Chain A
Amino acid sequence: MTLHLRARRVPLALAASVGAAALIWALWLTLSTERDAILLLVVLTVMLMVAVLSTTLAAPDEDLERTAALHWPWRRAVHLLAALAVVLVVLLATQPTGARFGPAALVVRDSAGLLGLTALCAAVVGAARAWFLPMGWAVVAAMFPQSGTWGALATWAGQPHTSRPAAVVAAVLAVTGLVTYALLGAARRE
């Protein structure tokens, strides 16, 4: 287990994602007069943690790993859910502090949706490039959120937490990503 985590460079990713989130939290705490972080910052912090954790989704040698007589789909699903748990625990832990990253519904929606999309991309283009599309989409959505149902679907990650279309997109991406990645694993290319 420890070896598996070390092979996936989990300690580095964990330290980088939690450290970066802590840095953003500390900056908001000291530089801003508001208690609640703005939506752009919340979405980007989620995306940052997801992107960093997504680098652990593939082994250095996928072919070698797949020869092991283990039941991979379950392990991959657990891996993904653990990554989601890390993001949620860290960001929801800011709720009682002086710099809140919320609301909770938004954090849950964006973490699940973006992680699902990233896992989906990992299954298609490999873990190293998996964050390209989700990152671009999340930045555009958070910078230029659109109104209307179609606008909300297209910029779901930047919608307020009450938006139903955004929640639907996030749920679909989360489930599709989880299932696809669990079954296929990361694509085999560096």
Chain B
Amino acid sequence: MSVLGIELRRSAAAGAALITVTVGVAALYTAPGRWSEGWMSLALTVKEYMILLWPIALAAGAWQGRREHRAKVGELFATTPRSRARRMLPVLVAMGASVGLAFLLVVGAGGLWIASTAAYFPPDVVAITLVGALSLVAAAWLGLGIGRLLPALVTAPVLAVAGVLLVFFTAIMRPDWMGAIMSPAYGSSPFYAFQTIDPRVTAVLALFMGGLALTGVLLLVARGPRTSVAAVLPVLLGFGAAAAIVPRDEAALVAPIDPVARELVCTDDAPKVCVTRVNSNVLDALTPLAREGLAVLAKLPDAPTQAHEERWAYPVEDAPTRDAGIVTITVRIDDHGGLAHPDAVVPEMVFGLGTGYGNPECERNGAVERAAAYHLLGREPVSDVGVIPEMIEEEPQLNAEAVELWQGLQKLPAPEALARVTAVRDALLACQDPTGLLSR
């Protein structure tokens, strides 16, 4: 134990852990909105930051692996009766444990922020995090091995750059399954809150990283060039075993859906408001707003009676068929895990007149729809900029047209105005162009 203590104090292990924690936590807290949604988004975000952490561990290993050469004690130590493997054990444990623990600390630091708001803890998060820690251990050990093989000052910076390029290009490479095996950052681009990583993908990464770690160990303890050459065997075996079991279908590789996270959690009382399980902590905040939106829509005949969170996984699924009795809401999560942009909920529900965003192939008319929606809301149309958070700019002409149509509606008797708004809604449902329906 005391050997390990000395090793921790004298080697680059503590420094590497410190840099890893600092970089990881700084990266997380620079943009907490990226992972405040829940545990899985935290796990995915940390996995994305592997592009920074993995090269750090690799370079730190190489830096440390140069030590015997730098101190010129190789020959002296070789005369001791201890085997090289025994002598290398403390440095392996010290480097591996410190970068592995540093990784867990980074995840823990993020976990503190979301612990009180994250409603759903998928068990896959544990596996993804542990394999993430294993990836860093593998990087550090591989670095140690290469640092001993090529004990020059330039090895560490070269490996740092090589590590960044390796993680980046394997994460985006084709075929996808190869990237899934080799990249510690694979599958981390977030598309929706109910995304996950297939357990088999986590398993094959563990196999490959395990092989890589073993290769590093063999390089470090190798006694001659023959052992050094044999050291590539574990990583090849790891890759082979991983290639045999890696899933090849897109559904398991590209932004897979966690069906449990996507299940609806609803209010007990009517009118029903539902959100996905992963966002169920915002149900209480959303319910009054969603009911307000339903009340506005209820002015129309046959209006929807339920509000559900939008659950369409748009990059991997076709548009779902819409139920006319349900209006969908886009739920956004703020930096603290609560409901973001509450002011946008009611307008967004009313903008489609309860029909959703519909089929993109249908003819639409922004000005007519806006005038109809604001007639229901009972106020003058304004530009979407400032109402819908993602909107950055729009043509001023669009709103001028909408205001004109809206004023026309205001002058009509109420039942006639409502009949025209209903006609617009029916046209949207029937995939017809609503142009001209307000100003007959």
Interface of B is mostly: helix
Residues of A within 8 A of B157 (CB): 48, 51-52, 54-55, 131, 135
Contact indicator per residue, chain B 134-158, by CB within 8 Å of chain A (1) or not (0): 0000000000000000001110011
B55 at the interface (CB under 8 A from A): yes
A135 touches B160 (CB 8 A): yes
| Closest partner residue, chain A, to B51 (CB atom) | A143
Tell me which residues from 157 to 182 in chain B have a Cβ below 8 Å from any Cβ of chain A: 157-158, 160-161, 164-165, 168
- The answer, among A16, A24, A140, for a CB contact under 8 Å with B165, is A24
- The answer, among A24, A48, A136, for a CB contact under 8 Å with B23, is A136
A82 at the interface (CB under 8 A from B): no
B428 at the interface (CB under 8 A from A): no
A47 touches B153 (CB 8 A): no
Interface of A is mostly: helix
Contact indicator per residue, chain A 118-139, by CB within 8 Å of chain B (1) or not (0): 0000000000100100011001
- The answer, among A51, A140, A143, A190, for a CB contact under 8 Å with B161, is A51
Q: Evaluate whether A12 and B154 lie within 8 angstroms (CB atoms) in the complex, with A44-B165, A51-B161, A139-B164 already known.
A: yes
Q: Taking the nearest CB of chain A, how far is it from the CB of B7, in angstroms?
A: 19
B153 touches A48 (CB 8 A): no
A55 touches B154 (CB 8 A): yes
Q: Evaluate whether A13 and B154 lie within 8 angstroms (CB atoms) in the complex, with A136-B23, A139-B52 already known.
A: yes
CA distance A12 to B154 in the complex (A): 9
- The answer, among A16, A40, A139, A143, for a CB contact under 8 Å with B154, is A16
Q: Taking the nearest CB of chain B, how far is it from the CB of A178, in angstroms?
A: 21
B52 touches A52 (CB 8 A): no
Q: Taking the nearest CB of chain B, how far is it from the CB of A23, in angstroms?
A: 9
Residues of A within 8 A of B165 (CB): 24, 41, 44
Considering only CB atoms and an 8 Å cut-off, how many residues of chain B contact the other chain? Answer: 16
Tell me which residues from 36 to 90 in chain B have a Cβ below 8 Å from any Cβ of chain A: 51-52, 55, 70
- The answer, among A44, A128, A136, A140, for a CB contact under 8 Å with B153, is A128
A9 at the interface (CB under 8 A from B): yes
Residues of B within 8 A of A140 (CB): 27, 52
Considering only CB atoms and an 8 Å cut-off, how many residues of chain A contact the other chain? Answer: 25
CA distance A20 to B70 in the complex (A): 23
Contact indicator per residue, chain B 26-42, by CB within 8 Å of chain A (1) or not (0): 01000000000000000
A9 touches B153 (CB 8 A): yes
- The answer, among B27, B51, B70, B161, for a CB contact under 8 Å with A48, is B161
CA distance A54 to B157 in the complex (A): 10
| Closest partner residue, chain B, to A13 (CB atom) | B154
Q: Taking the nearest CB of chain B, how far is it from the CB of A52, in angstroms?
A: 5
Residues of A within 8 A of B27 (CB): 140
| Closest partner residue, chain A, to B70 (CB atom) | A190
CA distance A20 to B152 in the complex (A): 15
- The answer, among B55, B153, B158, for a CB contact under 8 Å with A139, is B55
A12 touches B152 (CB 8 A): yes
CA distance A48 to B154 in the complex (A): 10
B152 touches A44 (CB 8 A): no
CA distance A131 to B165 in the complex (A): 17
Residues of B within 8 A of A54 (CB): 157
Q: Taking the nearest CB of chain B, how far is it from the CB of A27, in angstroms?
A: 9
CA distance A162 to B207 in the complex (A): 45
Residues of B within 8 A of A41 (CB): 165
- The answer, among A16, A136, A143, A190, for a CB contact under 8 Å with B158, is A16
A20 touches B164 (CB 8 A): no
Q: Taking the nearest CB of chain B, how far is it from the CB of A177, in angstroms?
A: 17
B158 touches A47 (CB 8 A): no
CA distance A181 to B70 in the complex (A): 25
Q: Evaluate whether A48 and B158 lie within 8 angstroms (CB atoms) in the complex, with A9-B153, A12-B152, A128-B153 already known.
A: yes
Q: Taking the nearest CB of chain A, how far is it from the CB of B65, in angstroms?
A: 14
Residues of A within 8 A of B168 (CB): 40, 143
Residues of A within 8 A of B154 (CB): 12-13, 16-17, 51-52, 55
CA distance A25 to B154 in the complex (A): 19
Residues of A within 8 A of B152 (CB): 9, 12, 16
Residues of A within 8 A of B153 (CB): 9, 55, 128
Residues of B within 8 A of A17 (CB): 154
| Closest partner residue, chain A, to B48 (CB atom) | A143
Residues of B within 8 A of A20 (CB): 158, 161
Residues of B within 8 A of A128 (CB): 153
CA distance A44 to B166 in the complex (A): 12
Contact indicator per residue, chain A 43-59, by CB within 8 Å of chain B (1) or not (0): 01101100110110000
A44 touches B161 (CB 8 A): yes
Residues of B within 8 A of A51 (CB): 154, 157-158, 160-161
CA distance A140 to B52 in the complex (A): 8
Contact indicator per residue, chain A 1-24, by CB within 8 Å of chain B (1) or not (0): 000000001001100110010001
CA distance A135 to B156 in the complex (A): 11
Q: Taking the nearest CB of chain B, how far is it from the CB of A58, in angstroms?
A: 10
CA distance A48 to B158 in the complex (A): 6
Residues of A within 8 A of B55 (CB): 139
Residues of B within 8 A of A52 (CB): 154, 157-158
CA distance A44 to B167 in the complex (A): 13
Q: Taking the nearest CB of chain B, how far is it from the CB of A120, in angstroms?
A: 16
Q: Considering the complex of A and B, which 5 residue pairs feature the smallest CB-CB distances, nearest first?
A: A51-B157, A48-B161, A55-B153, A52-B154, A16-B154
Would you list 13 pairs from A and B whose C-beta atoms are within 8 A, ordered by A residue?
A9-B153, A12-B152, A20-B161, A24-B165, A45-B161, A51-B157, A55-B153, A128-B153, A131-B157, A135-B160, A136-B23, A139-B55, A143-B168
Known interface pairs A9-B152, A12-B154, A143-B52; 18 further A-B residue pairs with C-beta atoms within 8 A, sorted by A's residue number:
A12-B152, A16-B152, A16-B158, A20-B158, A44-B164, A47-B161, A48-B161, A51-B158, A51-B160, A52-B154, A54-B157, A55-B154, A55-B157, A135-B160, A136-B23, A139-B55, A143-B168, A190-B70
